[in-house]
A = this chain, B = another copy of it.
Amino acid sequence: MPVITLMTDFGIKDGNVGVMKGVIWGITPDAQISDLSHKVQAQNIREAAYILGRSAPYFPQGTIHVVVVDPGVGTARRSMAARIGDGFYVGPDNGTLTVWLERTEAGNWPCEFVQLDQPKFWLPVVSHVFHGRDIFSPVAAHLARGVSLNELGSAFSDPVRLDIPKPVKTADGWRGEVVHIDHFGNLASNIRVEHLGEAFRQKEKIILRLNGTEVRGMVDTFGERPPGELVALLGSTGNLVLSVVNGSAASKLQAEVGNLVEAVLP
């Protein structure tokens, strides 16, 4: 049973996500379909890229990730499908796949890209404004039933890549930034476990700074400290995270995506 995930900025009110599932099941009736998120901020390709990059590795081999955060729908931007390691991406060629792609390439996994140019794998009528329904869902469904990438379109090698900010080495540690704020108000930075390196063995001596506030020492998990306390820890995918125990670090620190985060290592 092939797995397909859907991520969009459509919200869940208007029925459009359901319609994409209807189109998929019309072609591949046994597909398992999981929503990944439909609450991506409108037109926020960067947020979609971050969520995709950290989520895709947990899905079964062959999973097809359809992402439709697509302010350029109906313009000259390419429609694409890609093999990224042992999974697939289907969506606009607008950089959504960057985080996942860069990590996969770093592991020397194979990646390949095709521009979708075979309308026989699309709905018969294609609107100018909803390619998620008319092109990406049917293409994903055909991939799921065994159609190959090469049948779906023509190979190309230069997918659009976002300029994803990377942490910078400083005299005494790293300077990064907030890259995601989750439902709880936890602040994920782009400083990762691999940046902390050996220093992480002395994690109680690492100092974090954000918006003028300092946290001394990292913990393993929320429950080590009392509710309301600001803590630093590693998130579930290896990013350095600032959290308020049973509260919102985003509210407490008035933080936004892009705010600077400094780590001072022992």
Contact = CB atoms under 8 A, between A and B. Distances in A.
A128 B200 CA distance: 15
Interface residues of A, number: 68
Main secondary structure of the interface of A (DSSP, over half): loop
A5 interface: yes
Interface string A108-130: 00000000000000000001111
A156 interface: no
A223 interface: yes
A183 B197 CA distance: 43
B223 A15 contact: no
Contacts of A58: 19, 22-23, 26, 133
Nearest to A8: B183
Nearest to A34: B21
Interface core residue of A1, A30, A127, A129 (most chain B CB under 10 Å): A129
Contacts of A220: 74, 128
Given A10-B183, A42-B246, A129-B234, 6 more contacts: A13-B183, A21-B32, A74-B222, A75-B223, A77-B223, A129-B233
8 contacts: A1-B30, A15-B55, A18-B37, A22-B59, A23-B58, A25-B59, A77-B223, A128-B234
